[in-house]
Structure 1
Amino acid sequence: MTDKQHNWQALLQGRTPTPVQAQAIPALLRGEDVVTTARTGSGKTLAFLIPAAARGLGRAVRGMQPEVLIITPTRELAVQVRDVARELNLSAGRITGGITPQATRAEATGKGVIVGTPGRLKDLITKRELNLSRVQYVVLDEADELLSLGFLRDVGDILRAAQAQARTRPQVAMASATFPAELRSVAEQFMNRPTRIDVNVPGAPAVPQDVLAGASDATHLLVHTTRDDLLDTVAEHVRTALAAPGGCVVLFSRTKHLVKRRAQKLTTLLPHEVVAPLEGNMDQKKRERTMTLLREGQSRILIATDIAGRGIDLPEVRLVVHLDVASTAEDHVHRSGRTARAGQPGTNLVLLTPEQRQLWQSVRRKLPQALQPPVTPEEKQIDPAIQETQGRKQTPRPPQQATRGGPAGSTANAQRRRR
């Protein structure tokens, strides 16, 4: 190990390493493949970028021949990781949907670190524009999402291409706030005896092998409401959360249509605030405009689909509101983790209508105790006749089966790849 690798803590610029950084970085510097699960806001991005910087990877290169390849499920997260890499003086670019081929080449050419979404990465690999022969280090950020069926085929193809093209077998790191047990067997097919690092929160989940880390410092609340009163209720909580200057709130809706409709209504209910929507059908310029408004404080209210639950870091999120119950416990954890980050306070609020009580009971059972709001008598009063049904994520199959299972993907899979 070089002197620079020994001095990796200098890259934190005086900050104390978080638990996940203290455990993961030395393992990665030893050359081990690593699966890391830790709560959101715990410093996972630096935990997998610092080893690259300490080893001297990620320098400027010729063409599109990166030394470091980082795969993310969303465009917003790709941009965020790229920007953090640049803060470490790494030469970093991104390859995602939503930008022209010319802009992609300008962004990615000469960069030692490429951060991208699966569909676009695979497309450029297939066209032989992205050359993986120099890749030494591959990271899957939000690995549980990337190894679900919506992305599994593309991610598997990218990892196999990296292993086939690279001069030496690339080191692989996977990081997420949630990592269900069934995904570990999929992950390990691409890794060499991976080291498992779980920095978990108090309270064991219902399935011991599942790891659901989340924002344990948040205050977790549940409030009963009705469909008709839902937006009036959330407006009241938002006003309270934003009474003091600064900060923001994040509201989660189940569908793109609901995001649009509720954003319009909340703009009327909260006339002194800018309500910023974020959903997958928005073009890239609108998505980037939304994130800029939030990060610059021009907007303090984000309403989004679960696209915003995956790793997106916003300054001082005081309140997260589940306008609709998440489809899975994993999604609930990712949503909740937008608040109470890096030691700051925050509140995670479930607004529960009678139609969603059954789904909430299913999600609640799988959450660690530390992430559960106090139980209320009403939530167990379930009328089966009015319960809403939501699409559940399928249990992932091994990559070989997923690859053989029909055409390139269903409509749902195609939509996820276009993120």
Structure 2
Amino acid sequence: MTDFEFLGLAPKLTAALTRAGLTQPTPIQSKAIPLALAGHDVLGLAQTGTGKTLAFGLPLMDHLLARPGKPAPKTAKALILAPTRELVNQIAESLGALTGGTRLRVATVVGGQSINRQIGVLGRGTDILVATPGRLIDLMERGAVDLGSVRHLVLDEADQMLDLGFIHALRRIAPELGTPRQTMLFSATMPRQMEELSRAYLTNPCRVQVSPPGKAADKVAQSVHFLDKPGKPAKLREILSRDAGALTLVFARTKHGAEKLMKSLVADGYNAASIHGNKSQGQRDRAIRAFREGTITTLVATDVAARGIDIPGVAYVVNYDLPEVPDNYVHRIGRTARAGREGEAIALCTPEETGLLRQIEKLMKAAIPVASGTRPEGPVEQGRGTGGRPRKRGRAGPGKPRGDKAPARRRRRKAA
């Protein structure tokens, strides 16, 4: 008998887990699965790479196996919402690997792919629908999907969905779901808005937490290099050359920056590719597949595009640009040291990014060890952006309040 069997899962699922070589549940799985099997709403907090997908996926499939009958055309019995195409595909792949020998069907709907093909798939009905909110709403408006039969809702990477402004999409989708239903919300971080989200959509949830929010994975060795901006390209090449052939994920702040950096690496002979919002879904899928297989060893990515990259072999994460949202640092470095392995996270910090670094360290309640350079001294002014530099705002004119042209992300948060 495996440890998964002690959790009370259906024999078909435990057999599928055994065939997949999975016998020992992770801490988040051990805590969340029994509560979810009992029908409770669950608020799960755990570091990335700790097995959150199966923590909600296994009890979800167990409940569906206990409900006889095929899904009606255009309906789904369970809905999993995730913020990015890559994460949707990763969730569907993980669950699909365990549905062999069962009647359960898993379908995905994401932007960047043929909506007519997705309409055809949904026309046959599905047990589990994994979707990005935007494309799901497109299909709802076309009458291609009826969510009234959904009795299980999962919000994965909920903090990222909030940051991307998906709260408005959730408010559009939730009223269409069936009741009563079980809702599970999983995330690696716990911003204030997510507390509000849990109160709005979860009923007496059981909170499951295996690490403090904002805490980095224990097996990630972190370091930071302090240097001037012109020194970043040379330092990155030094890092990549140190362990040639190791899978390295490099984070850039912008789509343009990621593409420019990738092209410069390729020009210098490095085996690199990029994923970001300007890439088609096919291009992103091919790049991730090549990275997983090792034919590409350096993948340059932006935050949004990198969500859902679940590749245990990633040895290094390089923060070429520090993220403007401190929580994203935790998500970034969580792309390494997955499935119990060790990994290394390296940050490059310019004087202009010192403020961002201090916000990250404040979130983690720990200073990142210095690998080279000198840590700047002195406080960072409140209300400033990167390294104390004022953020750009629109000019105030007659009858127009200052800040009218604030970044869209800030406006979305205020509206939410």
Structures share fold, TM-score greater than 0.5: yes
**In structure 1, C-alpha distance between the alignment counterparts of 2:360 and 2:15, rounded to whole Å:** 41
Change (3 A) 1:180 1:414: closer
CA drift at 1:412? 5.6
Cα separation, 2, equivalents of 1:278 and 1:318: 18
Aligned to 2:3: none
Structure 2: gaps of 5 or more residues? 1-6, 393-406
**2:344 corresponds to which residue?**
347
In the alignment, what sits opposite 1:396? none
- The total of aligned residue pairs comes to 378
Equivalent position of 1:401 in the other structure? none
1: CA distance between counterparts of 2:141 and 2:300?
Answer: 36
Aligned counterpart, 1:43: 51
Aligned mate of 1:159, from 174, 188, 204: 174
Deviation for aligned residue 1:413: 9.5
Structure 1 position 236, deviation (Å): 1.2
Q: Which residue of the partner structure matches residue 373 of structure 1?
A: 369
After superposition, the Cα gap between the structure-2 partners of 1:27 and 1:391, relative to the gap in structure 1 and judged at 3 Å, is farther
Report the counterpart of residue 147 of structure 1 in structure 2. Answer: 162
Partner residue, 1:85: 95
In 2, distance between residues paired with 1:180 and 1:375? 30
Quote the residue 2:129 is aligned against: 114
**Distance change >3 Å, CA 267–CA 66, structure 1 → 2:** same
1:320 and 1:160 mapped to 2: Cα distance? Answer: 40
Matched, 1:214 2:216: yes
- Distance in 1 (CA, whole Å) between partners of 2:370 and 2:16 is 41
Does the 8 Å CA contact 2:122/2:144 hold for their aligned counterparts? no
Q: Tell me, in whole angstroms, the C-alpha distance in 1 between the residues paired with 2:373 and 2:249.
A: 27
Pair 83,106 (structure 1): closer, same or farther in 2 beyond 3 Å: farther
Whole-Å separation in 2 of the counterparts to 1:81 and 1:185: 25
CA positional deviation for 1:376? 8.0
1:31 to 39, 44, 49: 39
Q: 1:98 to 1:377 in 2, by over 3 A?
A: closer
Describe the shift of the 1:413–1:311 C-alpha distance in structure 2 as closer, same or farther (beyond 3 A).
Answer: farther
1:178 is matched with which residue: 189, 200, 208?
A: 189
Aligned partner of 1:98 in structure 2 is 112
Is the alpha carbon distance of 1:241 and 1:388 closer, same or farther for their aligned partners in structure 2, counting shifts above 3 Å? farther
1:323 correspondence with 2:320: yes
Bigger radius of gyration, 1 or 2? 2
Query: Following the alignment from structure 1 to structure 2, what is the Cα–Cα distance between the partners of residues 155 and 262?
Result: 35
Instruction: Quote the offset at 1:138 in angstroms.
Output: 0.7
CA distance in 1, matches of 2:116, 2:371: 54
Report matched runs for 1:206-285 at 5 Å. 211-243=213-245, 247-269=246-268, 271=269, 273-285=270-282
How far 1:309 moved relative to its partner? 4.2
SS class of match (1:138): strand
Aligned equivalents of 2:215, 2:86: Cα separation in 1? 22
In structure 2, the CA distance between the partners of 1:60 and 1:380, relative to structure 1 (3 Å rule), is farther
Shift of 1:54: 1.6
Deviation at 1:69, TM superposition (A): 0.4
- SS of the counterpart of 2:228? coil
Distance 1:186 1:4, change over 3 A: closer
Distance in 2, matches of 1:157 and 1:16, equals 39
TM-score normalised according to structure 2 size: 0.83
Identity over the aligned pairs, expressed in percent?
31
**Residue matched to 1:64:** 74
2: distance between equivalents of 1:287 and 1:224? 31
Deviations 1:252-280 (A, max 9, x none): 000001001101111123x1x42110101
Q: 1:299 to 1:183 in 2, by over 3 A?
A: same
Three-state SS of the structure 1 residue aligned to 2:266 is: helix
| Bigger mean CA deviation after superposition, 221-230 or 318-327 | 221-230
